[in-house]
Amino acid sequence: MSFAGTAVVAPPPAAAKQPPSAAALAFRAAAQTNANSTVPAVTVPSSVQVGDGTLLFVTVNDAAPTVGPPSGSGWRLAASKSGSTMQTQLWARTAQAGDAGSVVQVPISTLAKSAVQLLAYSGVTGSAWVDAAVPMIDGTTASIRTTPKVTAGSSGITLVSYWANKSSADNGWTADPSLGVRCQTTGTDSGRITSLVGDTGPVGAGVRGQLTATA
């Protein structure tokens, strides 16, 4: 079973782009963990700054446990999807003072294998900088997975794409060449989670997504 998702990270609206020297939306850093645990944890990269937009992708190899919310205040559930044997959540938060180097924990109500990946982007503003997020779970055994369509409401956005697979055989993903891969992680043994996240941008407004990766 596999999960594919698409999220749109929006730049500040035109009226908010002050001063003129303000930085454009850009990838800052990423971190990840892959564990068999009730409390997987990931360390926020030391380069993350106050005001950065942080995305936290969490995939668990069991649909039954209660997952999250992550430790620390201000996390917002941007998207979630559960299938028969796995579940994925996308959380978003604006970085605060003291975040760099801190540990984010994701509680899981029972022991399970999980992949947790954190990405940070500079140049966001406000609390609603995730413009849209669309998740999809595919229960077939196909090796090629395509992210769902998502509608970007403005130009200059960054398209974030994510794939996760529960398997006892797969050891990684090969992504669409247009994607800038930010982090990829593979677990161990049966029921492991293999996941990849990357981005494309800036891209214009309209229907986006439909990128492929091969497990």
Q: What is the DSSP letter of 14?
A: G
**Cis previous bond, 20, omega within 30:** no
Six-digit token string for 126? 């406000």
Tens of pLDDT, residue by residue over 177-206, are 999 999 999 999 999 999 999 999 888 888
pTM (2 d.p.): 0.91
Q: Is 145 helix (H, G, I), strand (E, B) or coil?
A: strand
Residue 104 sits at φ, ψ, to 5 deg, of -100, 125
Q: Could you tell me the residue ranges of all domains in the chain?
A: 2-214
In angstroms, the CA 35 to CA 42 distance is 10
Enclosing H/E stretch for 35: strand 26-37
Tens of pLDDT, residue by residue over 111-156, are 999 999 999 999 998 778 898 888 888 776 778 889 988 888 888 8
C-alpha of 103 from chain center? 17
Six-digit token string for 108? 């899981």
